[in-house]
């Protein structure tokens, strides 16, 4: 970990967002992760994303399970509530919290152990329930806090620091999410902030479950020769297919996109994601095509990154299906919830 405490006060010339807040005001407590950890870069991207979206800090709810990745919810947006729950069970906490108040922004941060082993069931069902949240998997193929065991995302043939070679096939969260009908599926790399920040912003504005798998090398246990989740391996093998630019509602699209290569997608709040297709034939709105494309690339040892799939219909989002009141459930006055004495008396005739 780093031992240099950053001052809370920022330089007067630091840029501010629409709320008059500096980036510094979206930071959290100091990271206790290893110096050079990919997770810290993702934290920085989350800070940038929230600052850039002009989010009121208290509107951000940060949720996590257990593990190195799950600690990071303490490291950004200190003005928002955080909930570091139990191992693999963050999706249920997020589901309940979201059920109670549909107005807040829910950012879940998890790891490959937390999400793909102990918490696989909860992840799968949160996707199925289509809870409106961003779910970031900080994926490093290894258990850090317990010192270097393979996780369920470790590739066949990947070598552990102590020499063991992984034999079991990996669970790929992107393929998993696609197969489950997730409405927003993205992959990125902790070292590519330019790609990651707009993905997070689009994920936040997407109505429904937004899964972002972020390859995030573990400098201590999985950054060696023979690892397929090291910085060098990832840099060599990641392959951007669809870059996403995030454009807030009021903003004009400033860049000229070549016709046929860009695909604007309108999000429910009026903001847009402009998908820049680096592969001309790739269609991120076609789930089946996306699935086979990713799978083929994986066979060639290539991690496709970018906004892999998006479906902005919002029709299966939890509250939409539940026909929940527009007023969050936790803010409905008690008087509107209780049928009262007269209704009870009337009801009792059913039981006489």
Partner 1 sequence: MPSVATAPERVNDFVVKFANVNGTGSASANALIMKAIFRMGVPVTGKNYFPSNIQGLPTWYEIRVTREAYAARAGRVDIMVAMNAETYSKDVREVASGGYLIYDATWPRSTLLERGDITVIGVPLAQLVNTNFEGVRNRILFKNIAYAGVVARLLNLDLQIINGLLRESYGKKPKLLDSNSKALRLGYDYAQQHLQCPLPLRVEHMDKTRGHIMIDGNTAAGLGCVYAGATVGAWYPITPSTSLMDAFKGFCERYRVDPATGERNFAVIQAEDELAAVGMVLGASWNGARAFTSTSGPGISLMNEFVGLAYYAEIPCVIFDVQRVGPSTGMPTRTQQADIMECAYASHGDTRHVLLFPSNPEECFYMAVQAFDLAERLQTPVFVLSDLDIGMNDWMCRDLNWNDAYRPDRGKVLSAEELAALDKFFRYLDRDDDAITYRTLPGVSPKGAYFTRGSGHNQYGTYTEDSAEYQAVLDRLKRKFSTAVKYVPKPELIGKGDNRIGIVSIGSCDGAVREAIDVLAREKIHVDYLRIKAFPFGHDVENFLSAHSTIVVVEQNRDAQLRALLTLETAVEKSKVQSILSYSGLPMSCEPIVDGIRAALAEAPRFSAVTAKSPR
Per CB under 8 A, the list member of 59, 117, 262, 320 interacting with partner 1 is 59
Residue 122, interface with partner 1 (CB under 8 A)? yes
Considering only 7-15, 54-62, 193-201, 247-255, which stretch makes contact with partner 1 by CB under 8 A?
54-62
Residue 352, interface with partner 1 (CB under 8 A)? yes
Per CB under 8 A, the list member of 41, 69, 72, 98 interacting with partner 1 is 98
Cα dist from 246 to 209, 214, 254, whole Å: 17, 18, 11
**Residues 7-46, mask of contacts with partner 1 (x by CB under 8 A):** ----------------------------------------
User: Phi and psi of 107, rounded to 5°?
Assistant: -115, 110
- CB neighbour list of residue 50: distance below 8 Å, 6 or more residues apart: 26, 57, 60, 76, 77, 204
* DSSP-assigned states of every residue in 20-81: S-BGGGGB-SPP-SPTT-HHHHHHHHHHHHHHHTT--GGGEEEEE-SSHHHHGGGSB-TTS-
Residue 344, interface with partner 1 (CB under 8 A)? yes
Per CB under 8 A, the list member of 73, 184, 234, 246 interacting with partner 1 is 73
Cα dist from 316 to 91, 132, 319, whole Å: 17, 10, 8
Per CB under 8 A, the list member of 34, 50, 55, 104 interacting with partner 1 is 104
| Residue written as token pair 């009337």 | 346
Residue 57, interface with partner 1 (CB under 8 A)? yes
**To the nearest whole angstrom, how small is the minimum distance from the Cβ of residue 42 to partner 1?**
18
- CB neighbour list of residue 30: distance below 8 Å, 6 or more residues apart: 1, 2, 5, 6, 75
Residue 338, interface with partner 1 (CB under 8 A)? yes
Residue 337, interface with partner 1 (CB under 8 A)? yes
User: What number of chain residues touch partner 1 (CB under 8 A)?
Assistant: 60
Per CB under 8 A, the list member of 14, 285, 296, 325 interacting with partner 1 is 325
Which H or E element spans position 39? helix 38-52
| Residue written as token pair 């409106």 | 132
**To the nearest whole angstrom, how small is the minimum distance from the Cβ of residue 123 to partner 1?**
10
Per CB under 8 A, the list member of 46, 50, 53, 61 interacting with partner 1 is 61
Spatial distance between the Cα atoms of 71 and 169, rounded to a whole number of angstroms: 27
| H-assigned helices in 72-172 | 90-100, 112-116, 120-129
Minimum CB distance to partner 1 smaller for 84 or for 149: 84
Which residues here bind partner 1, judged by CB under 8 A?
Answer: 56-59, 61, 63, 73-74, 78-86, 89, 91-101, 103-104, 121-122, 124-125, 129, 319, 322-326, 329-332, 334, 336-341, 343-345, 347-348, 351-352
């Amino acid at each position: 970990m780093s031992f240099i405490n950053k001052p809370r006060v920022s330089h007067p010339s630091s840029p501010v967002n629409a709320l008059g807040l500096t980036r510094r005001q979206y930071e959290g407590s100091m990271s206790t992760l290893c110096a050079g950890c990919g997770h810290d870069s993702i934290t920085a991207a989350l800070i940038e994303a929230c600052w850039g979206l002009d989010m009121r800090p208290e509107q951000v709810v940060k949720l996590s399970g257990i593990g190195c990745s799950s600690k990071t919810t303490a490291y950004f947006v200190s003005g928002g509530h955080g909930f570091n729950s139990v191992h693999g069970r963050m999706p249920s906490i997020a589901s309940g919290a979201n059920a109670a108040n549909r107005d807040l922004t829910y950012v879940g941060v998890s790891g490959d152990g937390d999400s793909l082993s102990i918490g696989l069931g909860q992840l799968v069902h949160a996707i199925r329930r289509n809870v409106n949240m961003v779910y970031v998997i900080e994926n490093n193929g290894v258990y850090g806090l317990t010192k270097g065991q393979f996780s369920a995302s470790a590739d066949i043939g990947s070598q552990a620091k102590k020499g063991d070679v992984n034999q079991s096939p990996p669970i790929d969260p992107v393929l998993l999410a696609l197969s489950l009908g997730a409405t927003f599926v993205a992959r990125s790399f902790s070292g590519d902030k330019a790609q990651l920040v707009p993905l997070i912003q689009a994920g936040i504005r997407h109505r429904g479950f937004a899964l972002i798998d972020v390859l995030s090398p573990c400098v201590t246990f999985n950054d060696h020769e023979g690892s397929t989740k090291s910085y060098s391996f990832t840099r060599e093998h990641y392959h951007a297919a669809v870059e996403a630019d995030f454009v807030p509602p009021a903003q004009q699209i400033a860049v000229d996109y070549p016709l046929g290569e860009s695909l604007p997608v309108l999000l429910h709040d009026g903001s847009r994601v402009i998908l820049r297709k680096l592969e001309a034939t790739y269609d991120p709105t076609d789930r089946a095509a996306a699935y086979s494309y990713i799978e083929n690339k994986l066979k060639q040892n290539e991690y496709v990154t970018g906004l892999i799939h998006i479906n902005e219909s919002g029709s299966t989002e939890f509250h939409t299906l539940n026909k929940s009141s527009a007023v969050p459930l936790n803010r409905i006055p008690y008087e509107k919830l209780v049928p009262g004495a007269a209704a009870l008396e009337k009801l009792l005739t059913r039981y006489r």
